[in-house]
């Protein structure tokens, strides 16, 4: 019980992880130390909740202060993805058929199999490492690690695209077999294309991720 | 010091003065607490280190890693010390401010506090 309460009164681990990721290497140790010291004073003088809230406020404000300097590449990557999604949503809204672009079945037949293929073609460690590299939390790697990470995004993107084409073709075959009933042809055609759209979107994001890993690898060498 | 060299900013002066006041015990936490107690300024640790790093790059202060203590979760302190160049920059900023304040009388009109 005592161990549990001791663990609970520790500074939030997630906040520490965020700071370790966001701060420049040379000040991680003193900053975490300073915050821990003041955190325990806060725990002694105020409530535990107040101390945790104080710690999170310090961690978030301090981390975001440095993140553009230390994780610029990652921030730009996220920004480009957000921009891509925003423009996509805008195009959907302009098409006046926003709901029509979301089809759970099409999502399920592209994304989970593509992820499964990426795991199958590489390894769990490679996939984890690829995303860690992309998030900037796994710097200073060797050439082999960068190659493996690139392969993960390559397999993920290409599988997603191929699955999109494959599922669309299956949809067309199904439509072709029911040509006598043309009342739902338009809807069926549109849905069959959605899998291809999701596949292309996944391929595009993976292409950017692959190029980002390539840039990191070149900067390293 | 070159004539064209800029004067220290307000926060830079506060930090250098805090370090001088704290002497051998000037590190992130103590500087933050001194600023909160003396001028009621609650700065984040990130803002503090951003300015401290800038001052160090300007060559106005020096730092060294200190001892590891349990109350810091086994992490070392980073001690700061104002060097001769930093003290000179502080003196210069103070002289400039004093010279600017010379013969200035504030009217009480519109001053309500």
Residue B3 has pLDDT above 60, yes or no: no
A102 plus A154 within the same structural domain: yes
Residue-number span of the structural domain to which A33 is assigned = 2-70
The mean per-residue pLDDT over the stretch B45-65 comes to: 94
A129 plus A213 within the same structural domain: yes
Q: Which residues of A touch B69 (CB under 8 A)?
A: 33, 37
A174 part of a folded domain? yes
CB-closest option in A10, A29, A35 to B45: A35
With 0.80 as the threshold, say if the pTM is over it: no
A65 plus A102 within the same structural domain: no
Q: In chain A, how many domains are there?
A: 2
d(CA A40, nearest CA chain B) in Å: 7
Say what the pLDDT of residue A185 is: 78
A141 part of a folded domain? yes
A83 part of a folded domain? no
A62 plus A125 within the same structural domain: no
B95 inside 8 A of chain A by CB: no
Q: Do A58 and B46 touch (CB under 8 A)?
A: yes
Average pLDDT, chain B: 89
A77 part of a folded domain? no
A155 plus A201 within the same structural domain: yes
- Angstrom distance (rounded) from CA A133 to CA A3: 35
A45 part of a folded domain? yes
Residue B2 has pLDDT above 80, yes or no: no
CATH number attached to the domain at B10-95: 1.10.10.10
Residue B4: which pLDDT band, with cuts at 50, 70 and 90? low
A116 plus A216 within the same structural domain: yes
The mean per-residue pLDDT over the stretch A11-35 comes to: 93
A53 plus A100 within the same structural domain: no
Lowest average pLDDT, out of A11-20, A127-136, A176-185, B11-20, goes to A176-185
SS3 labels along chain A? CHHHHHHHCCCCHHHHHHHHHHCCHHHHHHHHHHHHHHHHHHHHHCCHHHHHHHHHHHHHHHHHHHHHHHCHHHHHHHHHHHHHHHHHHHHHHHCCCHHHHCCHHHHHHHHHHHHHHHHHHCCHHHHHHHHHHHHCCCCCCCHHHHHHHHHHHHHHHHHHHHHHHHHHHHHHHHHHCCCCCCCCHHHHHHHHHHHHHHHHHHHHHHHHHHHHHHHHHHHHC
A13 inside 8 A of chain B by CB: no
A61 plus A119 within the same structural domain: no
A99 plus A64 within the same structural domain: no
Residue A142: which pLDDT band, with cuts at 50, 70 and 90? confident
A79 part of a folded domain? no
A42 plus A104 within the same structural domain: no
Residue B68 has pLDDT above 60, yes or no: yes
Say what the pLDDT of residue A35 is: 94
A51 inside 8 A of chain B by CB: no
- List, for residues A84-101, the tens digit of each pLDDT value: 888 888 887 887 777 777
Say what the pLDDT of residue A6 is: 58
CB-closest option in B28, B46, B75 to A66: B46
């Amino acid at each position: 019980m005592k161990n549990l309460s001791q663990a609970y009164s520790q500074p939030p681990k997630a906040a520490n992880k965020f700071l370790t990721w966001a701060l420049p290497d040379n000040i991680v140790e003193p900053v975490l130390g300073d915050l821990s010291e003041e955190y325990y004073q806060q725990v002694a003088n105020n409530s535990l909740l107040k101390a945790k809230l104080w710690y999170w406020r310090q961690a978030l404000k301090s981390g975001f202060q440095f993140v553009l300097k230390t994780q610029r590449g990652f921030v730009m990557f996220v920004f480009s993805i957000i921009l891509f999604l925003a423009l996509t949503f805008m195009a959907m809204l302009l098409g006046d058929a926003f709901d029509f672009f979301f089809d759970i079945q099409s999502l399920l037949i592209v994304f989970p199999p593509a992820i499964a293929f990426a795991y199958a073609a590489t390894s769990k460690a490679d996939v984890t490492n690829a995303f860690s590299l992309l998030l900037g939390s796994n710097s200073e790697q060797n050439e082999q690690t960068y190659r493996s990470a690139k392969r993960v995004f390559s397999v993920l993107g290409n599988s997603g695209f191929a699955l999109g084409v494959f599922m669309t073709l299956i949809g067309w075959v199904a439509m072709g077999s029911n040509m006598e009933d043309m009342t739902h042809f338009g809807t069926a055609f549109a849905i069959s294309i959605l899998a291809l759209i999701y596949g292309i979107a996944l391929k595009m994001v993976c292409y950017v991720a692959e190029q980002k890993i390539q840039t990191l690898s070149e900067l390293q060498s | 010091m070159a004539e064209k060299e800029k004067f220290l900013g307000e926060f830079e002066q506060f930090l250098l003065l805090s370090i001088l006041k704290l002497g051998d015990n000037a590190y992130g936490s103590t500087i933050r607490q001194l600023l909160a107690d003396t001028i009621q300024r609650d700065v984040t640790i990130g803002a503090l280190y951003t300015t401290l790093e800038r001052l160090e790059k300007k060559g106005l202060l020096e730092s060294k890693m200190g001892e590891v203590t349990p109350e810091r979760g086994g992490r070392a302190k980073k001690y700061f010390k104002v060097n001769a160049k930093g003290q000179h920059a502080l003196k210069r900023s103070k002289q400039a401010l004093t010279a600017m304040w010379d013969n200035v009388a504030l009217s009480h009109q519109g001053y309500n506090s």
